[in-house]
Structure 1
Amino acid sequence: MNILKFQHEEDFAATGANLIASLLQSNPRAVLGLATGSSPIGVYAKLVEMHRKGMVSFARASSFNLDEYVGLPADHPQSYRSFMNEHLFSHIDIDPARTYIPSGNAADLDAECRAYDKLLEEQGPADLQILGIGSNGHIGFNEPDASLSSGTHVVDLLEETLEANARFFDRLEDVPRQAVTMGIGGILKAKQIVLLVRGEEKAEAVKQALQGPITTQCPASLLQSHPNVVVLLDEGAAKWLK
């Protein structure tokens, strides 16, 4: 793992954006694995700025998002489709038809999961996969468990995840209790993984993921088995690393 620590948010965001821009400059048809949450927002803002300056194009790229809440239509303001449109897709030249996000509102969720894995198999794997990490060590919405699913699947969100995501909703009761998520196998197939983590509240999860034992009780620890991982941390997230 290549672990980089940053004092300033601007440097954190610029480094993440430059990794993606460099990939697209060398491979315009790159497949991007994208994530939602607070950590990548600055990176997406920097990519939008670079695109406006003519420094990067997404015109021939495609993207796959990690996850989506179950029960939210794509146009719901807290859906991950809405998040991606707001922070990235609506501001760049990517073809909307090549921005793939699993549907959490599908009539048959099992069939949706199988279809998403088929798309990933046909068009992937991701050339670069962006990840965040939950305070309990989840990546995507792969929650700590005795075993982890390899393929895209429906997951019951743990209480701590619901509480962490409640800030985006009016009430805790409004947070969907399930999500569709890419599985650990799909994530680890990416050619390169970029883990973005901001905030002291994630410091313990970062320590367990990067320096603890590889265990399904900390799904992010499985990144230790991947040959090409870049980790970008702010000072708070890096607090407990040796």
Structure 2
Amino acid sequence: MKIISTENYEEMSYMAAVETAKCIKGNPELVLGLSTGGTPLGTYKNLIQLYEEGKVDFSNVTTFNLDEYIGLEPEHFQSYAYYTWENFLKYVNIKAEQVHIPLGIFENEDQAVKEYNEKLMKANGIDVQILGVGRNGHIGFNEP
């Protein structure tokens, strides 16, 4: 594991984006884990900028979101699907069929979880995971 100390949120966001871009350059078919919340917004903003500058290509990247709210359609403004598309994905050249976000609406919860896990296993897991840290110290919705 590589630990990078930074002075502030802006520097952390930039460094996280640069490190993620390096991983994608090293493996253009990288499987990228995405999260939501306030922490990753700066990283996403910087990844978009790196993409616009031609420094990273998302065309062969596959993504898996960490979670989704049960009961929300993907188009709902409070869903994590909406957040992810509005804050990151719609600004880069990722293919929609390579984006995986858990369902918020489903007939059978066990089946929905099974199918999502199967997609993740077929992709051979996550290569790089972007996570946030909450004010109470939670990481990726894992509460203390």
TM-score (norm: length of structure 2): 0.92
Structure 2 residue 44 is the aligned partner of structure 1 residue 30: no
Structure 2 residue 68 is the aligned partner of structure 1 residue 68: yes
The residue that corresponds to 2:12 in the other structure is 12
Structure 2 counterpart of 1:75, which letter?
A: E
Structure 1: distance between partners of 2:23 and 2:120: 19
Structure showing greater radius of gyration is: 1
Structure 2: distance between partners of 1:61 and 1:104: 23
Alignment deviations for residues 73-120 of structure 1 (CA, whole Å, 9 cap, x no partner): 000001001101111110000001111010011121111111111111
Residue 66 (structure 1) shift: 0.2
Structure 2 residue 84 is the aligned partner of structure 1 residue 84: yes
Residue 35 (structure 1) shift: 0.7
Which one has the bigger strand percentage?
A: 1
The residue that corresponds to 1:121 in the other structure is 121
Q: Which runs of 5+ in 2 are unaligned?
A: none
Residue 32 (structure 1) shift: 0.3
Q: Closer, same or farther in 2 for the Cα pair 1:116/1:59, shift >3 Å?
A: same
Residue 61 (structure 1) shift: 0.7
Structure 2 counterpart of 1:106, which letter?
A: F
Residue 9 (structure 1) shift: 3.1
Alignment deviations for residues 189-225 of structure 1 (CA, whole Å, 9 cap, x no partner): xxxxxxxxxxxxxxxxxxxxxxxxxxxxx4xxxxxxx
Aligned residues: 144
RMSD: 1.6
Structure 2: distance between partners of 1:19 and 1:67: 23
Alignment deviations for residues 108-149 of structure 1 (CA, whole Å, 9 cap, x no partner): 111111111111111131111111234455443444xxxxxx
Structure 2 counterpart of 1:25, which letter?
A: K
Structure 1: distance between partners of 2:87 and 2:124: 23
Q: Closer, same or farther in 2 for the Cα pair 1:76/1:17, shift >3 Å?
A: same
Q: Closer, same or farther in 2 for the Cα pair 1:113/1:142, shift >3 Å?
A: farther
The residue that corresponds to 1:44 in the other structure is 44
Q: Which runs of 5+ in 1 are unaligned?
A: 144-217, 219-242
Identity of aligned residues (%): 38
